[in-house]
Amino acid sequence: MSGIWAVVVISLWLGDLSGWWPNQQLLTPSLWHAHEMLFGFGALVAAGFLLTAAQNWTGVPGVKGNKLVLLCAIWLAARLVPFLWLFLWAEQKQGLVLLIILQSLWWLGVIAALSRQLWLAKNPGNYPLAALLLAMAILNGSFLWLSQRQYALAAHLSHSMILMFCLLMGLIGGRVIPFFTARATQTGQIKTPGLDKLLLVTALLGTTLFIGSGFVQPLFSPGWLMLLAGIFHLVRLKRWFTPGLLRQPLLWSLHSSYLAMSIGLLLMGLSLLTGWVNFKDMLHLVAVGAMAGMMLAMMARVSLGHTGRPLAVGQWITTSFVLLLLAGLFRASALITGRPHLLWQLSAALWLISFLIFIRVYWPILTAPRLDGRAD
């Protein structure tokens, strides 16, 4: 479902950029684009991964059956509200209120399901993940509430959400990337507990300071902490590296997306401190190259593992990984080239091809029974 929505939302956005059709008007086009990429597509992938992975961490079954169908229906209804509100209500405010209610219900359902698994398993080590989802939900509601009254502040909160995803990628990536790398390359797993804690504190403070900077003037720029976090991520990534991973797309795709996040944070920090690079372009390097890149890599891997298939991909999915990474690079270089509109279109086209390939390859995999005969 997330892969399909990735195609739908960028198709609509590309059409709007190119003047092919009008966008919905519940939210301004740019805010709708930000909302659906972050709180629609991104949040769905993150929730799906956490609820699935928590079954392995805790041994407690995740949400399934009618409850899962209901959760998906709420998510889908929220996606449709911006396009259908005119047929149901005369006032824009009522449509926005319904969107807020549906998004909040979806977030609460996801958080309740994850918290239940962690609580029953007495797994306090993963409680911060539930807290992070709660913070994302609050950010989502605040974004929507401000979207029709304070555009700049709503846009700032969407930027903040990307930093929230960086926190999540740092936490999850810090667990799975060295583990997957060690297992696939038959090398010892690299652990960096001291660096992990330092990175978490730095990233958390930087994200908090950046969010707060939209409301009050901070004592010092969050750019310094972004810069520091980017350096720590690069040191971490270097420690994980082994040449053998370059021969395995399911590994190098994760490492390349983590690299995009590290460099993106460095450049975002540099932008806030010096203005030498455009902040929103660097933000998109993280959003497309890192966030979407890691999500695509994880969807490709998890879909194989949870259908009982070998953890190996062919040339088509390898191409999909490359195209999405290029989409991030093109979007990040939009202003540098002097042809921003063309680069936006090229980036969107590469995104579409990448996810269409993923859907074509994985649709038969995800709609077929597990190869090992298990039910889950």
In this structure, is residue 316 part of a structural domain?
Answer: yes
| CA–CA distance, 121 with 172 (Å, rounded to integer) | 19
Say whether both 200 and 276 belong to one domain.
Answer: yes
In this structure, is residue 145 part of a structural domain?
Answer: yes
B/e letters for 71-103, b = 16+ CB within 10 Å, e = fewer, are: beebbebbbebbeebeeeeeeeeebbbbbbebb
Q: What does the pLDDT look like over 155-211, one tens digit per residue? A: 999 999 999 999 999 999 999 999 999 888 888 788 888 999 999 999 999 999 999
Q: At what angle do helices 249-274 and 315-332 cross, to 10 degrees?
A: 10
Say whether both 145 and 180 belong to one domain.
Answer: no
Q: Are 185 and 251 in contact (CB under 8 A)?
A: yes
Say whether both 184 and 297 belong to one domain.
Answer: yes
The pLDDT of residue 304 is above 80: yes
Say whether both 104 and 130 belong to one domain.
Answer: yes
Question: Considering the chain, what is the average pLDDT of its residues?
Answer: 90
In this structure, is residue 173 part of a structural domain?
Answer: yes
| CA–CA distance, 370 with 308 (Å, rounded to integer) | 5
In this structure, is residue 180 part of a structural domain?
Answer: yes
In this structure, is residue 154 part of a structural domain?
Answer: no
What is the domain range of residue 136?
Answer: 1-149
In this structure, is residue 376 part of a structural domain?
Answer: no
Q: Are 109 and 51 in contact (CB under 8 A)?
A: no
Choose the weakest-confidence range: 232-246, 287-301, 334-348. 334-348
Looking at the structure of the chain, the number of domains it has is 2
Q: What does the pLDDT look like over 260-279, one tens digit per residue? A: 999 999 999 999 999 888 89
Task: Output phi, psi for 254, to 5 deg.
Answer: -70, -45
Say whether both 110 and 38 belong to one domain.
Answer: yes
B/e letters for 222-253, b = 16+ CB within 10 Å, e = fewer, are: bbebbbbbbbbbbebbeebebeebeebbbbbb
**What pLDDT, on the 0 to 100 scale, is given for residue 65?**
86
What amino acid occupies position 232?
F
Name which of 353, 299, 302 is nearest 325 in CA terms.
Answer: 353
Say whether both 122 and 270 belong to one domain.
Answer: no
- Please give the model's pTM, rounded to 2 decimal places: 0.93
